[in-house]
Structure 1
Amino acid sequence: MNRPRLDDRLADLEADGYLIDASQEDANQLYLSGFTGPDPFLTLYADGEVHVLVSGLEYGRATAEATADTVERHADYGYEYGGREARNDMYAEFVRDKGVDSVSMPPRGPVGTADALRDRGIDVAVDTDDRLREVRAVKTDEEIDAIREAQRANEAAMRAAEELIAGADVAGEDAEVGDAEPGVLLHEGEPLTSERVAEEIEVTLLRHGCALDETIVAGGAQAADPHDRGSGPLRANEAIIVDIFPRSKATKYNADMTRTFCVGEPSEALREWYELTGRALDAALDAVEPGATGEDVHAAACEVYEEAGEPTFRTDPETETGFIHSTGHGIGLDVHESPRLANGGEALEPGHVITVEPGLYDPEVGGVRIEDLVVVTEDGHENLTDYPIRFAAE
């Protein structure tokens, strides 16, 4: 955690402290406390110190793991099991015990906790700007190394997926393999499905200390929907989008990468789209530097597509085909966080880790997306992705 940056961003809040009531699933909570508590717990930041309040069940682990100045348990305030009002009394006592009479809470903090503290005489304001999210956007060297490590696992998973796709046979006109139709990819005599490739990805990630709840392996018309996870048999001569966004089980930091593959002969339109998307990626990467805005990077990708006559949201906000999403997003403890590479995107700073992922989509053609992961540096950017860009799966 970058405490000087945190102090700077919270300095103008008219509150004595910053309070979070959430579990580790809330990235702000994980960032501030450093503790992987599965149940909601309190973290208070006041006078440059982090204070954590957990149940007795989690106390031992919290004292060992939390990056906090103090760790206390419910029993320290005469509570362990009781009703809601007694729990809220404990929360108020914990806050006041740190010399705090007013707190700011993130915009997604529990209303019940905020109201309970107000009822007990503690002023609560909502941090509508979500300043902690802004603090998290700029990564320390340690955080960048954690993302880099997750990306190495990501690349191993992408390699496993590509090899599975590249090694597939193609069902011919006289195919008699189950329900396989001509053109369907076959693995060990069975149709190769999106689910089978996703399984290979997940198993590989587990072996590299990472996991993910879901991934994208979408071919043909499914690839024309950027967030279609993909299902069923994959086919030759169609684009197959593989988008993997794993999370390290140890550090909790995410990575993200997309490649598009094809087995066989893609259509002329798909070939043109792939070449165009590679150019859009290069143009967007060239625009990544400190002081440039997320909108600048997005515009660089859009211009490549627009000059080729392809629609984008920038020129046609109602288009359902073409480049129909932003150029990228920040990544860290959340797989989607600040900054945004889109219209209105903010200025880039050294330490921002962002994805750059242009793409084109049309159900009549399919979909193509290529995504790299980069960190903004003092004089430009460093690409954290070390995986080849190629259409023909190898």
Structure 2
Amino acid sequence: MKTDIDRLMQEENIDVLWVTGSMMNNPDMVYFTGIHNASTINLFKLRDKPPIIFHDNFERDEVAKSGLKTQSYIDKFPFDKYLKEARGNVLKAYSTWFKAFFIETCITSSRVAIFGKKDISYTYAIIKALKRELPQVEFIGYFKDSLLKQARMTKSQAEVEQIRQMGNVTTQIVAKVANLLSNQKVKDNKLVNKGGHPITVKEIKKLIRLWLVERGADNPEGTIFAIGHDAGVPHNAGDPNGFLELGKPIVFDIFPCEAGGGYFYDFTRTWCLGYATDEVQKLHAQVLKVHHKIISELRPNRPFRDFQKRASELFTKMGHVTIEKQFNVTEGYIHCIGHGLGLNVHENPFSGISAGERDILTPGIVFTIEPGLYYPSKNIGVRIEDTIYLNPQGKFEILADYPYDLVIPVKN
């Protein structure tokens, strides 16, 4: 949580956090500012001091909505002055311009951790130039488990309620999709529209996007609506021109967020239209059994990876090859049991092979449980996913309940 930031800065010997970029679709910035329509932002947070935002004057009203201390560039740092001094050398102008921010903020011999979304080439050029201007400043980057990701891993009650609300939106959309599918006509074993033409995955996704927008949500990472063979590959989004055929498994994985890059929700169900074959029914029952079993065995303060190993053990006993036994496996249980969730759809804690000592089920975290079995050679894939909150009392709670039915009856 935000209350952990100064402690983490002390532990990692970080003097300053520098977050750059937009106040939208930029998780580390949004964490401090909320979602607002301002794009040329530089936020500095010194240890044990409140953040300050430097901004363009024409974005002042949006920046003020953050409630943080602000400073317009033009008041003290008019860029034309630095460009003139640099004789038109834009990179030199930018580096001396940033140097002025650092001096104004008393950052001249510090360890500065850098965050935010910017073009990597632009960022590299700026940091390299700034290093020449301020040789006593050490810039710190993170490959994984960044300081802010550690802070963001545990959520405040307000953050949890935002995620819960996205869960409510998500399940509303899922219910609308299920109702839509069940009320379509069937021709040649495919769902068809009023004109008798087969309905495509693209048409379903178009409606999902519309319904999300109507509820103040967005799906910047897309939506998985994968049928048959496509369902057998975990992150196959589905063929846009694919038809909705009876009996074929559909992996419907929807992970929307608050519009502008806010908190995500993550949810998956597997459906068959009209009926399911015996083999699909068997695999679905096995996945559902592991899903429920893992959730029943969750315990606070345990490494998340322990439950990935446990899921693999359960699937192995059922006769499936797993990623724990064969890392490059392409059929069977081939992905991880879950991941953290927040301002990123995938964040700490992680449960896979790269999970570290910090990937613990700590009270305050929000995470997914999403076992699955995948057999593309048989045109089958099954995944069931819920988002779970571990509250301060040590109880695990699914944030948005929804039925696990495999078959969607088709009325017409």
Task: Tell me the TM-score normalized by structure 1.
Answer: 0.91
Could you tell me whether the CA contact under 8 Å between 1:295 and 1:344 is conserved in 2?
no
More off after superposition, 272-281 vs 70-79: 70-79
Say if 1:111 and 1:386 are closer, same or farther in 2 by CA, change over 3 A.
same
2:363 is matched with 350
Alpha-carbon displacement from aligned partner over 1:17-74 (angstroms, at most 9, x marks no partner): 11122223331122133353553421111132101111122122101x2242x21111
Paired amino acid for 2:269: R
In 2, distance between residues paired with 1:97 and 1:90?
11
1:339 equivalent in structure 2: 349
Q: Which one of the candidate residues 205, 215, 228 is aligned to 1:220?
A: 228
CA contact (8 A) 1:245 1:255 kept: yes
Give the deviation of 1:166 after TM superposition. Answer: 1.9
Q: Go from structure 1 to structure 2 and tell me whether the alpha carbon gap of 1:287 and 1:10 turns closer, same or farther (over 3 Å shift).
A: farther
Report the alpha carbon displacement of residue 288 of structure 1 after superposing the two structures with TM.
2.6
Structure 2 partner of 1:247: 257
Shift of 1:389: 0.8
Superposed CA offset, 1:214-239 (max 9, x none): 21111111111111111221110110
State the match for 2:87 in structure 1. none
Conserved in 1, the CA contact under 8 Å of 2:38 and 2:59?
no
Q: Which residue of 1 aligns with 2:99?
A: 92
Counterpart amino acid of residue 370 in structure 1: I
The alpha-carbon deviation at position 112 of structure 1 amounts to: 2.5
5+ residue gaps, structure 1 = 172-181
Structure 1 CA distance for aligned equivalents of residues 297 and 49 of structure 2: 37
Secondary structure of 1:125 counterpart: strand
Percent of counterpart pairs with the same letter?
A: 24
Once the two structures are superposed, the pairs formed by residues 39-78 of structure 1 within 5 Å of their partners are 39-46=39-46, 47-63=48-64, 65-68=65-68, 70-78=69-77
CA contact (8 A) 1:103 1:125 kept: yes
Higher relative contact order (Cα pairs below 8 Å, separated by 6+ residues):
2
Distance (whole Å) between structure 2 residues aligned to residue 30 and residue 73 of structure 1: 19
User: Does 2:340 align with 1:330?
Assistant: yes
The separation in 2 between residues aligned to 1:195 and 1:3, in whole angstroms, is 40
Partner residue of 1:194? 201
Aligned equivalent of 1:3: 2
Distance 1:87 1:36 in 2: 24
SS of 2:274's equivalent in the other structure is coil
Which whole-Å deviations, capped at 9, do the CAs of 1:60-111 have from their partners, x for residues lacking one?
2101x2242x211111223145433233222222122122222422377722
2:2–2:152 contact (8 Å) kept in structure 1: no
Q: Which residue of 1 aligns with 2:173?
A: 157
Counterpart among 133, 151, 155 of residue 120 in structure 1: 133
* Alignment-derived partner of residue 389 in structure 2: 375
Distance 2:49 2:333 in 1: 45
1:88/1:59 CA distance change after superposition, 3 Å:
farther
Please state whether the residue corresponding to 1:262 is helix, strand or coil. Answer: strand
Range with bigger deviation, 122-131 or 215-224: 122-131
Who is 1:360 aligned against?
A: 373
CA contact 1:146–1:253 (8 Å) conserved in 2:
yes
Q: Does 1:279 align with 2:307?
A: no
How large is the RMSD of aligned CA atoms in angstroms?
2.0
Residue by residue over 1:284-324, the C-alpha shift from the partner in whole angstroms, topping out at 9 and shown as x without a partner, is: 21233311211122123222211100111011112110111
Aligned partner of 2:302 among 267, 271, 292: 292
SS at match of 1:321: coil
May I ask how many residue pairs the two structures share in their alignment? 381
- In 1: Cα distance, 2:111 partner to 2:43 partner: 11
TM-score by length of structure 2 reads 0.87
Does the CA-based 8 Å contact 2:26-2:261 persist in structure 1?
no
Distance 1:343-1:159 versus aligned 2 partners, 3 A rule? same
* Structure 1 partner of 2:86: none
CA 1:44–1:35 in 2, change beyond 3 Å: closer, same or farther?
farther
The 2-side partners of 1:381 and 1:40 are apart by 40
- Residues 147 and 251 of structure 1: CA distance in aligned 2, closer, same or farther (over 3 Å): farther
Using the alignment, how far apart are the partners of 2:397 and 2:35 within structure 1? Answer: 30
Q: CA deviation at 1:161?
A: 1.1
Q: Distance in 2 between matches of 1:12 and 1:375?
A: 27
Which residue identity is paired with 2:230? Q
Q: Is the 8 A contact 2:14 2:113 kept in 1?
A: no
Cα distance in 2, alignment partners of residues 282 and 297 from structure 1: 12
Structure-1 residue corresponding to 2:214? 207
Distance 1:99 1:328 in 2: 42
Structure 2: any 5+ residue segments left out of the alignment? Answer: 84-89
Cα distance between partner residues in 2 of 1:340 and 1:238: 31
Q: Which amino acid aligns with 2:231?
A: A
- Aligned equivalents of 2:42, 2:57: Cα separation in 1: 13
Describe the SS at the equivalent of 1:170.
strand
Alignment CA distance shift 1:35-1:220 (3 Å): closer
- Letter of the 2:42 counterpart: L
1 CA distance for matches of 2:302 and 2:189? 46
Q: Is 2:287–2:384's contact at 8 Å kept on the other side of the alignment?
A: yes
Moved more, 4-13 or 133-142: 4-13
Structure 1: distance between partners of 2:350 and 2:53: 31
Within the alignment, does 1:310 sit opposite 2:316 as a pair? no
**Helix, strand or coil for the counterpart of 1:322?**
coil
Specify the SS of the correspondent of 1:236: coil
Distance 1:262 1:201, change over 3 A: same
